[in-house]
Structure 1
Amino acid sequence: PSKLAFTLWSVETMRHFGMLEAQVLAVMGFTPQWDAAGRVIGIEAIPVAELGRPRIDAVISATGLYRDQFPNVMHWLAQAADQASTLDEPDNIIAANSRRIEQALLQRGLPAAEASLAARTRIFSSESGAYSTGLEDATLASDSFGEAADGGQDRAAGEEKLAELYLDRMQFAYGPDSQRWGEKATVNLYAEQLRGVQGAVLSRSSNLYGMLTTDDPFQYLGGLGLAVRHLDGQSPELYISNLRDADNPRSETAAGFLARDLRARYFHPGWIKSIQAEGYSGALEVLGTANNLWGWQVTAPETVRSDQWDEFKAVYVDDKLDLDINQWFEQHHPQAQAQLIERLLEAARKEYWDTDAQTLQQLAQRWQDLAERHDVVSDNVKFSEYVEQAASGFGLAAPASDAAEAQSEASDAPMQQVQGQKLEKQQAQP
């Protein structure tokens, strides 16, 4: 690639001791310098001949906690981008991007000194004192984006609204001049730097935390992919730097990593039984998983498959694993199952989940039953209307005239004896 983005988290860095930061320096073609005590005291550009490839541009998204806890590391990463922007080398894409952005900013009226500093800036975070992208709440308010005037779905308009929220929240710059850290330019510099990003990377260094344990992964990695898709018209590849096994570090696609998380944890009877033992808090954990899967669906649709929503319903509504799941929800937190079903129905209403009218009717009737018996209320008016339609079997029955015509044609057609194999339903093997 010629341009990558990395999202840096403080807790991850505490676990992996700077592995992802080392990857950032490596792609830009720099190596750290240490003192006798093992502290980083500088960086050094690797000569192109030794590097054996062109330098790769790197844009860095830092969480609020990372910004607060690792300013010393951010300093050296900012210096690497600054120095690479001034190296006179053939095929130096970092310098070429800095020159291009500087010219674009000059044309938009920025003073020369401001444009030069901004063009050499590659690190961005939220405003000082802020600790989220805003996507954790915005994605759950699914009636507030992507709604077309005719009652259908306008996916592009919905993504544009969420992408602009992310870019607005994460545009505070941390460049070569630390005295200017946390400033916001008159133009969205983060958006300018994200243009052309081909891949984005997040690390996972613990089996305790996966892609769905909190809303942060989809906020930061998913949000980054959403922003690039909004700016360039296509999604970057999303990668997980999998550092869970220190002896076998590897890079994986986010979609593959998420699929394994679902199979190995959230659809696994062992995990579900353990979470059931937690009662009320366990039900909240399951609901949070559904909400976070929805967050990935909205920000990075390519990471979530329709059959994964099928399986979510099969496990947590149909009780596919024979774990008395509905009774457990009813005993400990029926509202959590109702909200989980609301998320499933919203996935269908927003045209992310491709399922049939019978499935929707079953879910809608279960939601209505829980709502009536446990005082469940949704403030999503569009969802409420959708539930009424789905529960009544909208889309199940053929129009009366069509049904009568089909029945008439069937009665007139001559009967024909056929022979062949007969399919019989078999009990699925565990």
Structure 2
Amino acid sequence: MAGGGMSVADAGRAAAQRVFGDAPGAYGAGVNRLTERSGAWRERDEIGRAYRNRMGHAYGLDASGEASHAAFDVALDGIERSYHGRASNLYGLLDNNDAFDYLGGLSLAVEGRTGRVPEAMILQHAQPGRADVEPLASALLGELRGRFLNPAWLKPLMGHGYAGARTMGQEFLENLWGWQVTRPDLVKNWAWDEVKSVYFDDAHKLGLPQFLGQQHNAHVKAHMLAIFMVAAEKGYWKTDPATVRRMGGELARLVVRNGLPGSGHTAPDHPMWAWLAPQLDGADAQALGVALAKARGDMLTAPAASTLHPAPTHGRSARVVNAQVAPVGAHAPASEPTGTARVYELHEQAQAAVPPAIQIIQLLASLATGSALFALGLWRGRQAPQPARSPT
């Protein structure tokens, strides 16, 4: 670092720094949030750079969280093995996103700097008096098969309704996706095939596809299907077109029926939708296009005024557009041309003009009604008994 323009004293101080983390007051490496927002990046190295940017603040010696990114990069270049300690069995590697946020993020940052993937080890010391060192590969994949693909774990979880479904989707598959992005050397194609077999093909005959599709669980199922489609679109999961059409079609129908599940993998402008739409059946693709346009608030061009059919509802009318659906992934034009209408938008119904003669008759009728009511009130007031006066 002295050769990069730093003084010898500053270079020596930077070289001695060993503890790096977030800026003071910040929390998390940011890797978990980025993997969840899969439409915000295209290359894994983008996430690695985000990790280096967030974690490049030094602590110790005379440093109190100041930005030291150059020193952090030099430290990353020398890492060949990384460790993650597990002092508790409360959380595993796949039911909490901190593990891949830090350990996976560190691996991705080193890979981005050096081109090599550091060896990763898990320090298992949850049991007092016993400490083991286990490779990340066996710990991670053992947890995948021992818990999340295990019918003895899945069946009781189904008894918890939506909470159980959410655990399967948000707290398992989302974290498997995080490990996929940060350590693709460990999460291979077979992992996605086995998850698909258990959760969507019902390999254990537990009724999981029906469980995930019922009531509020349908949002979880849509979220899980979207992760599979994103994994296929980004090239992590290799599968055949028929599988994409079947699973993608079910995802499209769930979105049309229930709306988007509010996931970072299902943002209405996510590139995955444009990739998926041409692979779907025509009806599914068209219905999905309308649902996504509705979510984006895009404009659709009506071919003729006769295609707008107002249906009065308490002074408002829903304008139903019988127009060509905008392509999935397309956005609204910068300017709104004449004859366009927002999908499903409510507009005030224009009131029909009333002739002047009718207006005069309505006014006179209102005045007559008011006079009659006033006279009736006076008459009833006179008929009411007067209170007796006390003698003086």
* TM score, norm. by length of structure 2: 0.67
Q: 1:273 to 1:129 in 2, by over 3 A?
A: same
Per the alignment, residue 117 of structure 1 pairs with: 13
In 2, the alpha carbon distance for the partners of 1:313 and 1:247 equals 39
Aligned to 2:368: none
Q: CA deviation at 1:193?
A: 0.7
1:160 corresponds to which residue?
Answer: 45
Task: Determine if the alignment matches structure 1 residue 132 to structure 2 residue 37.
Answer: no
8 A Cα contact 1:172 1:184, kept in partner:
yes
Match of 2:164 among 269, 282, 307: 282
Q: Is 1:268 paired with 2:150?
A: yes
Q: 2:223 aligns with which of 333, 339, 346?
A: 339
1:238 is aligned to 2:123:
no
User: Does structure 2 retain, via aligned residues, the 8 Å contact 1:201–1:221?
Assistant: yes
Equivalences for 1:98-109 in 2 at 5 Å? 105-109=1-5
1:37-48 paired onto structure 2 within 5 Å: none
Partner of 1:387: 276
2:70 maps to which residue? 188
Cα shift readout 1:384-420 (whole Å, capped 9, x = no counterpart): 1222233239xxxxxxxxxxxxxxxxxxxxxxxxxxx
Q: Cα deviation per residue 1:66-103 (whole Å; 9 max; x = unaligned)?
A: xxxxxxxxxxxxxxxxxxxxxxxxxxxxxxxxxxxxxx
Paired residue for 2:247, among 345, 354, 363?
363
Distance 1:349 1:286 in 2: 22
Residues 1:291 and 2:174 are matched in the alignment: yes
Query: Counterparts of 1:47-62 in structure 2 under 5 Å?
Result: none
* Residue deviations 1:19-44 (CA, integer Å, cap 9, x gap): xxxxxxxxxxxxxxxxxxxxxxxxxx
Question: 2:109 maps to which residue?
Answer: 227
Counterparts of 2:258 and 2:205, CA distance in 1: 24
- SS of the aligned residue for 1:206 comes to coil
Structure 1 residues 317-356: aligned runs within 5 Å: 317-329=200-212, 330-356=214-240
Measured after TM superposition, the shift of residue 247 of structure 1 is 5.0
Equivalent residue in structure 1 for 2:60, among 175, 187, 191: 175
The reply to whether residue 313 of structure 1 matches residue 202 of structure 2 is no
The AA in structure 2 aligned to 1:328 is F
Q: Measure, in 1, the Cα distance between the counterparts of 2:278 and 2:124.
A: 44
- Structure 1 segments, 4+ long, off by >6 Å, are none
After TM superposition, give the deviation of residue 141 of structure 1 in Å. 2.0
SS of equivalent to 2:20: strand
Q: Give the AA of the match of 1:280.
A: Y
Following TM superposition, by how much is the alpha carbon of 1:175 offset from its aligned partner in structure 2, in angstroms? 2.9
Counting aligned pairs with the same residue, the percent is 33
Aligned AA for 1:229?
Answer: E
Distance 1:197 1:300 in 2: 16
1:145 aligns with 2:41: yes
Structure 2: gaps of 5 or more residues: 283-392
In the TM superposition, what is the alpha-carbon distance from 1:176 to its structure 2 partner?
2.4
Gap runs ≥5 in structure 1:
1-104, 147-157, 394-430
Q: Looking at both structures, which has the greater relative contact order when contacts are Cα pairs under 8 Å and sequence separation is at least 6?
A: 1
TM-score scaled by length of structure 1: 0.61
CA distance in 2 between partners of 1:111 and 1:255 (Å): 43
Counterpart residue number, 1:253? 135
The one-letter code sitting in structure 1 at the alignment partner of 2:278 is Q
Q: Is the 8 A contact 1:127 1:172 kept in 2?
A: yes
> Following the alignment from structure 1 to structure 2, what is the Cα–Cα distance between the partners of residues 306 and 261?
17
Aligned partner letter, 2:160:
E
Quote how far apart the aligned CAs of 1:332 are. Answer: 3.8
Letter in 1 for 2:205: D
Alignment of 1:208 with 2:114, yes or no, is no
Please give the alpha-carbon distance, in whole angstroms, between the structure 2 residues aligned to 1:364 and 1:244: 41
Partner Cα distance (2:86, 2:240) in 1 = 36
Q: Which amino acid aligns with 2:204?
A: L
Q: In structure 1, what is the Cα distance between the partners aligned to 2:270 and 2:140?
A: 31
The residue type paired with residue 231 of structure 2 is A
The 2-side partners of 1:263 and 1:243 are apart by 21
Q: Which of residues 296, 301, 306 in structure 1 aligns to 2:184? A: 301
User: Which amino acid in structure 1 is aligned with residue 56 of structure 2?
Assistant: Q
Greater C-alpha radius of gyration: 2
Q: Secondary structure at the match of 2:198?
A: helix
RMSD (CA atoms): 1.7
Q: Aligned partners of 2:95, 2:153: CA distance in 1, in Å?
A: 13
Which whole-Å deviations, capped at 9, do the CAs of 1:310-369 have from their partners, x for residues lacking one?
Answer: 111111111211121122222342111101110011111111112212221221111112
Q: Is the CA contact (8 Å cut-off) linking 1:283 and 1:332 kept in structure 2? A: no
Separation (CA, whole Å) in 2 of partners of 1:305 and 1:252: 19
Distance in 1, Cα, partners of 2:260 & 2:35: 21
Give the deviation of 1:248 after TM superposition: 4.3
